[in-house]
Structure 1
Amino acid sequence: MWYISTRGMAPRVDFEGALFSGYAPDGGLFMPEELPQLSRETLRQWSALSYPSLVKELCALFIGPELIPRDDLNDLIHQAFRRFRHNEVVHLSRLKNGLNVLELWHGVTYAFKDLSLCCTAQFLQYFLEKREKHITVVVGTSGDTGSAAIESVQGAKNVDIIVLLPKGHCTKIQELQMTTVLKENVHVFGGIGRLLPESVPGGSIPDHTLETTI
């Protein structure tokens, strides 16, 4: 599986390359070069899977076994969801008159972003351990991204995380989630300003006045 930039001006990369690049060199987002085609029979079989099992099947479509063998992939997904409070990870509550509610709040921080970031962190650490490398992740947040990102990598040997939050503009519980994690690889700063950018390349983050919040 190869990934190409939405702007079409960057070399294609594999999953590992896309994972560590974030944005493509031309400023675009990486997307699969081709989307897998699924048969009706496959969809029928998948409809009976648990959420973690479905994630394993979907990830296997986009991450080649030459990068992460299937047994390793299964272990990584299992590790990613081990701290969720509900054994189904994502629970579907069936209410009256055909109304259903999909519960996405059973992760550590109660945010839906726990679902993706816990997997992302497992993939990062897998490749970093194999390559014997270390990275620093910089996160700008308005609340839920920062706490979910922190929980996904807190205590990791190969990853340091720097989180920039808009001081006084997050909810109290979100601010506490970010500023009370006392791990050596977690670094949280409060910025003076309404909102810190979450979705811009690191080199494009404008200057902010920062002060430590721990």
Structure 2
Amino acid sequence: MLYLSTRGDPGRKRFCEILLEGLAPDGGLYLPERYPRVDAATLSKWRGLPYHELAFEILSLYIDDIPAADLKAICAKTYTADVFGTREIVPLRKLEDGLVLEALSNGPTLAFKDMAMQLLGNLFEYELGRRGEELNILGATSGDTGSAAEYAMRGKKGVRVFMTSPDGRMSPFQQAQMFSLQDPNIHNLAIAGVFDDCQDIVKAVSNDLEFKRKYRIGTVNSINWARLVAQVVYYFAGYFQATASNDQRVSFTVPSGNFGNICAGHVARMMGLPIERLVLATNENDVLDEFFRTGVYRVRGSADTHETSSPSMDISKASNFERFVFDLLGRDAARLKALFGEQLAASGRFDLGADPAFAAAGAKFGFASGKSTHADRVATIRDTWQRFDVMIDTHTADGLKVARRFVQPGVPMIVLETALPIKFAATIVEALGREPQRPAKFEGLEKLPRRVTVLPADAGAVKDFIAAHCR
């Protein structure tokens, strides 16, 4: 399996090369040259497999430069009941007829990002050990990616983490999860700005090829294909739990900010998983909902990026969206580069509304979308607790609110849970008048000493910090 850049770089690379590289040299994102297809016989063979074995089967279609026995051992080491709390790893919970939640937040940091990040940490350690090299990971987080990455990488040989986050924009629990870590290979950088500033810094540093090579810069954001392909697994796992046979279709609703989580669903659908609809749910920062309704992709500035009660989706530049648009436009790299390079840089927007390809977003690729507000999520949290005795977080509430618009008879709608409620306690208290349950290991978290450096929203300042801590 070889990988190409969405922006047309002529090079073709294997999995372990792009694992350590992140962005392509031309600023594009890597995708496989083709999506491997699975048929009914393969689905039948996979149905009933333990999660770690299902992960191996799917990942082995994309990874041919790690020996099968080693990849199987990495999957078995990653996906255990001890780490993720249950034998199913991602169990389903029925709420009402046709509507179920898929639990993705039982890992070490209580968010769905653990599903891929735990694997990524083990893959990094394996490949760096095999090469005898080190890697400096530069990431950006709006809340959950940072803690998931840091908990996955802490203590890993040959790995340092430099994680940027928007100063003061995460929930108190999210900040404490990250900033309380004292491991010498973990560095937290609070950026004076919004998440998009952090993401822009990561891309700017990654596009400085001389600096990237000198300091061995890699990424853990979902611009790294390895993380995205790991997320494909739980779409298959959810499908098998929700259906009795392989001729039944399902839909998924996915709370979406940076488009990585739902892009994994797009990949699963392209592989042949019987997905009827992929429903994208946003909060008040509705850049993606606007696109799927109108064809207009319009990036907002920092001043127009709302600070909401589902902060992990307070994003106005969805970096993974480029992968989907690449497929939407028939993998026309020149046109993709013009849209995401020159046109966005010049005007901050592009419009595909009149393009015949835009109709394919729904008709061919199954996408639909909707948005949710603070009042919506408070009402949904309260309703879910009162009717089902189930407490959900704010982002999952956004997903559940939007999902109900798209439920179809006979087609199970699976809503992907994003985090446990404790991460957003203030809104839970507002909705229910009570604190969410806190796992014992996180008691007193907010009172722990913190290790964090505040920096301006400037790529040069971040590069200087990395250089100073890599000597």
TM-score > 0.5, shorter chain as reference: yes
Is the 1:10–1:24 contact (alpha carbons within 8 Å) kept by the matching residues of 2? no
Distance, in Å, in 1 between the alignment partners of 2:174 and 2:156 is 21
| 1:179-190 alignment, distance < 5 Å | 179-190=179-190
- The amino acid of 2:14's aligned partner reads D
* Stretches of structure 1 lacking an aligned partner (at least 5 in a row): none
Aligned to 2:6: 6
Name the TM-score, length of structure 2 as normaliser.
0.42
Aligned to 1:69: 67
Residue 78 (structure 2) aligned to one of 77, 80, 101: 80
Distance, in Å, in 2 between the alignment partners of 1:157 and 1:40 is 41
Aligned to 1:20: 20
Q: Secondary structure at the match of 2:198?
A: coil
Q: Does 1:38 align with 2:38?
A: yes
Shift of residue 107 of structure 1? 1.1
Aligned to 2:199: 198
Shift of residue 140 of structure 1? 1.6
Shift of residue 50 of structure 1? 2.8
**Higher helix share goes to which structure?**
2
Shift of residue 22 of structure 1? 0.7
Partner deviation per Cα, 1:97-150 (whole Å, 9 max, x = no partner): 233211111111111111111111211111100111111101121111111110
Is the 2:191–2:198 contact (alpha carbons within 8 Å) kept by the matching residues of 1? no
CA root-mean-square deviation:
2.1
77-86 or 55-64: bigger deviation:
77-86
Partner deviation per Cα, 1:64-108 (whole Å, 9 max, x = no partner): 1xx211121111112223422223211112344233211111111
Distance, in Å, in 2 between the alignment partners of 1:35 and 1:112 is 24
Q: Secondary structure at the match of 1:31?
A: strand
Identity %: 34
Partner deviation per Cα, 1:28-55 (whole Å, 9 max, x = no partner): 1111112212221111221222322211
Aligned to 1:127: 127
Distance, in Å, in 2 between the alignment partners of 1:90 and 1:8 is 36
Q: Secondary structure at the match of 2:87?
A: coil
Q: Secondary structure at the match of 2:177?
A: helix
Residue 458 (structure 2) aligned to one of 207, 211, 214: 207
Is the 1:147–1:178 contact (alpha carbons within 8 Å) kept by the matching residues of 2? yes
Q: Secondary structure at the match of 1:201?
A: helix
Shift of residue 202 of structure 1? 4.5
What count of residue pairs does the alignment treat as equivalent? Answer: 209
Distance, in Å, in 2 between the alignment partners of 1:190 and 1:45 is 47
Distance, in Å, in 2 between the alignment partners of 1:140 and 1:10 is 28
Distance, in Å, in 2 between the alignment partners of 1:92 and 1:68 is 32
Distance, in Å, in 2 between the alignment partners of 1:94 and 1:71 is 36
Distance, in Å, in 2 between the alignment partners of 1:202 and 1:177 is 27
Distance, in Å, in 1 between the alignment partners of 2:10 and 2:141 is 27
Distance, in Å, in 2 between the alignment partners of 1:86 and 1:183 is 28
Partner deviation per Cα, 1:159-197 (whole Å, 9 max, x = no partner): 000111222110011101101112111111222223243
